[in-house]
């Protein structure tokens, strides 16, 4: 199993050897097959050691170096995970000088663009062992109640290193089909697999296949309360039951919120109720001389005050349906996400979360749980890309 780096949180490498005066770390970052190690280093870092705890050591924080190599071009490509090869060399002189000491070596890491909470401590979720205080789960989202719009595809993210098995319990499930996809946005094609068959999610040494998306379609005939039991087949046992709940048809356009969550995977939420669009504009202005001195007159149709550099940003406010408390954690992660899109009908829009705060709701305090979000479209209304 891989040692996992969540790159939105700091990741510390401690290189220690008694008697070392300095240590050099060579890093190679790449995607694809683990065996396809590049011939040249991506980074080479040298630090002098300090003494403590009966040894000599240097600390390297590597997350910021890795994040540049994890990216998403929506509908085109997503590099959700990369391999990180780290080689350490110890020296008996400062700044990588002197003789090479024993104790060097290399190790591989798997980096994803997730993050940990403060409560999870340093270097969060390094393993898939659920007995640890902080671990990477097989289902890469926290809510086990999955709300869906009948007729729309359901897509769930999984971590392949647990090699999970998904057992559907869909009444009349022969009409429902599934497919495993490398990219979240892959949609239904003919000859998918029947939901009467279990899904076995395989692992591989390809970093691009570490996060798999399980797509389910058509969904019109999935009754509310249908379940899927997910069980890990590698490592310490994990078992969860996903419950599917259908949302009633609304009079407003269905809005799907798509975002990267804390596990570095794309997750979806539906905002099924009232939505409102607004346009906020910005501009500069100046006082213009409209006097015609030859005629000693001016046209009353000319602008004495003129605007320039006029542009605007659209915003949209959306509301969820009434949901259960399992939605609270995804809402928190949406608020903390750096990459968010809205799918409205057949169109997809990059947006920025404009809401800066959210009060966690519970059935005890609020009886009915419903959230309102405000998003700003991540571009100017006037096309000004140069």
d(CA 85, CA 104): 14
Residue range 8-65, pLDDT digits in tens:
999 999 999 999 999 999 999 999 999 999 999 999 999 999 999 999 999 999 999 9
Order of strands across the sheet that contains 193-194: 154-159, 211-217, 177-181, 193-194
Q: Residue 240 burial by CB count (10 A; 0-12/13-18/19+): exposed, middle or buried?
A: middle
Separation of alpha carbons 149 and 270, rounded Å: 8
Phi, psi dihedrals of residue 161, rounded to the nearest 5° = -70, -15
Strand partners, 46: 24
State the Cα–Cα distance between residues 170 and 168, nearest whole angstrom: 6
Nearest to 63 by CA among 17, 9, 121: 9
Phi first, then psi, for residue 36 (nearest 5°) are -90, 60
Within the chain, which residues score under 50 in pLDDT? none
Rounded CA-CA distance 344/254 in Å is 6
Q: What is the pLDDT of residues 338-355, one digit of tens each?
A: 999 999 989 999 999 997
- May I ask the CATH architecture of the domain 4-120? Sandwich (2.60)
Position 254 scores a pLDDT of: 87
Whether 137-246 and 4-120 are alike in CATH topology: the answer is yes
Residues 111 and 69: their CA atoms lie apart, in Å, by: 10
User: Domain segments of the chain: what residues?
Assistant: 4-120, 137-246, 252-386
d(CA 41, CA 6) in angstroms, rounded, equals 21
pLDDT at 357: 56
- CA proximity to 13, closest of 86, 67, 76, 92: 86
Q: Rounded to an integer, what distance in angstroms lies between the CA atom of residue 80 and that of residue 76?
A: 13
Q: What is the pTM of this model?
A: 0.92
H or E, element range at 334: helix 328-335
Q: Which two tokens stand for residue 356?
A: 């800066």
CATH architecture of 252-386: Beta Barrel (2.40)
The reported pLDDT for the residue numbered 171 is: 86
Residue 198: phi, psi to the nearest 5? -65, 150
In whole angstroms, what is the distance from residue 368 CA to residue 386 CA? 47
What is the CATH topology of the domain spanning 137-246?
Immunoglobulin-like (2.60.40)
Q: Quick one: pLDDT at residue 253?
A: 83
């Amino acid at each position: 199993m891989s040692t996992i780096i969540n790159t939105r949180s700091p990741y510390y490498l401690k290189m220690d050897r008694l008697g070392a005066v300095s240590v050099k770390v060579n890093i190679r970052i790449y995607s694809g097959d683990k065996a396809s190690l590049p011939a040249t280093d991506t980074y080479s870092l040298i630090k002098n050691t300090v003494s403590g705890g009966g040894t000599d050591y240097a600390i390297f924080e590597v997350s910021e170096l890795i994040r540049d190599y994890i990216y998403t071009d929506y509908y085109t490509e997503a590099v959700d995970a990369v391999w990180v090869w780290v080689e350490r060399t110890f020296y008996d002189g400062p700044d990588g000088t002197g003789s090479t000491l024993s104790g060097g070596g290399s190790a591989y890491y798997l980096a994803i663009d997730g993050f940990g909470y403060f409560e999870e401590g340093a270097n969060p979720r390094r393993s898939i062992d659920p007995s640890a205080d902080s671990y990477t789960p097989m289902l890469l989202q926290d809510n086990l109640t999955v709300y869906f719009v009948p007729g729309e595809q359901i897509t769930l993210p999984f971590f392949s290193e647990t090699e999970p098995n998904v057992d559907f319990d869909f009444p009349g499930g022969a009409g429902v089909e599934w497919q495993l996809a490398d990219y979240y946005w892959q949609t239904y094609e003919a000859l998918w697999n029947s939901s009467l068959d279990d899904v076995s999610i395989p692992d591989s040494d390809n970093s691009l296949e570490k996060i798999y998306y399980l797509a389910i379609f058509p969904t019109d005939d999935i009754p509310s309360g249908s379940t899927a039991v997910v069980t890990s087949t590698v490592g310490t046992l994990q078992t969860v039951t996903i419950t599917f709940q259908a949302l009633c048809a609304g009079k407003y356009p269905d809005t799907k919120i798509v975002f990267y969550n804390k596990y570095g995977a794309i997750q979806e939420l539906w905002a099924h109720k009232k939505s409102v669009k607004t346009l906020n504009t910005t501009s500069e202005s100046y006082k213009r001389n409209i006097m015609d001195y030859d005629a000693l007159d001016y046209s009353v149709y000319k602008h004495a005050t003129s605007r320039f550099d006029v542009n605007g940003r659209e915003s949209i406010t959306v509301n969820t349906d009434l949901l259960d408390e399992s939605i609270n954690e995804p809402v928190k992660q949406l608020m903390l996400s750096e990459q968010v899109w809205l799918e409205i009908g057949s169109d997809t829009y990059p947006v920025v979360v404009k809401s800066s705060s959210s009060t966690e709701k519970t059935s005890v305090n609020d009886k009915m749980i419903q959230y309102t979000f405000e998003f700003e479209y991540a571009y100017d209304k006037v096309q000004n890309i140069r």
